[in-house]
Amino acid sequence: MKYVLLGLCLLLNAGAALAQKKNVQAAPTIPFTLACTSPVAANALQKQYCETRDLTLPAPPAGTALTIDARVNGGISVRAWAGSTVQVRALVVGRAATPEAAKALAAAVQVATQNNLLRAARANEVLDGWSVDYEVLVPAQTDVVLKAVNGSLSVEGVSGNIRLETTNGGLTLRNVNGNVRAQTTNGPVSIALAGPGWLGPGLEAATVNGSVEWQLPAVYAGTLLARTTRGKVSAELNTKRKSVLPHNLAATLGKGGAQLKVSTVNGSIAVRQPAETAAPPADPAE
């Protein structure tokens, strides 16, 4: 009888462990793409050393933005992912006269996080000879502020209060929504939207010296405004409610909606929608 009871206990424990295992969801894979390439000379007189550092941060509370400051040299890419935390890969590069000095310079760079602010610096605040690029994965509903000077900024799949500001670098917006404001001085702007229409207050993206490429789904709802000073505007849109002039565009897509604005001074603007696919004819047999 004792052995029978022992066997029953073992079976019950095994069943409970199996049920618990089924209820535990596997953590989502962290799909980082940022990686160091083979060591190369920064220029004829400098060597380069590169390393990556991975960090995990709590997602900022609602109403609080995650701010990422790439300082003087560095770009930022932010993407939505299925996890509930913020995952960061920082690619740190040092440049110096010798490989050893470049490695020491990179090692001296500190990537710090405090109060939902991510930034890098050397202890003595020297900005020369090093750079940090960031690849950041955030929950889809996250407010973000991205800052750079010599670097590009990119956001994909995120909805919220989004602010992008750089001086020498391009801007890329993919499948974003919310209240989005993005600006650069020297760099192109690339926008590709998805879904049936814009969700949120609107979009405003601007550059001074750069072109704008804007892609929309075949069926989309929104109010488009585009303006350039010394370039041309071209538009292929699935609507008759549009005004296309050499330097300006105003169009209403679908039932209209949030105001989506782009502008440049020295550059052209191209806005494109693919042709709508006609619905297949009904089957008479149905």
pLDDT at 6 over 50: no
What's the whole-number average pLDDT of the chain?
88
Q: pTM score, two decimals?
A: 0.85
- pLDDT-based confidence at residue 29 (cuts at 50, 70, 90): confident
- 3-class secondary structure per residue, 59-99: CCCCCCCEEEECCCECCEEEEECCCCEEEEEEEEEEEECCH
260 band by pLDDT with thresholds 50, 70 and 90: very high
150 DSSP β-pair partners: 73
Least confident range from 55-59, 127-131, 182-186, 240-244: namely: 127-131
| DSSP classification of residue 26 | P
Do residues 163 and 65 lie in contact, with contact meaning Cβ atoms separated by under 8 Å? Answer: yes
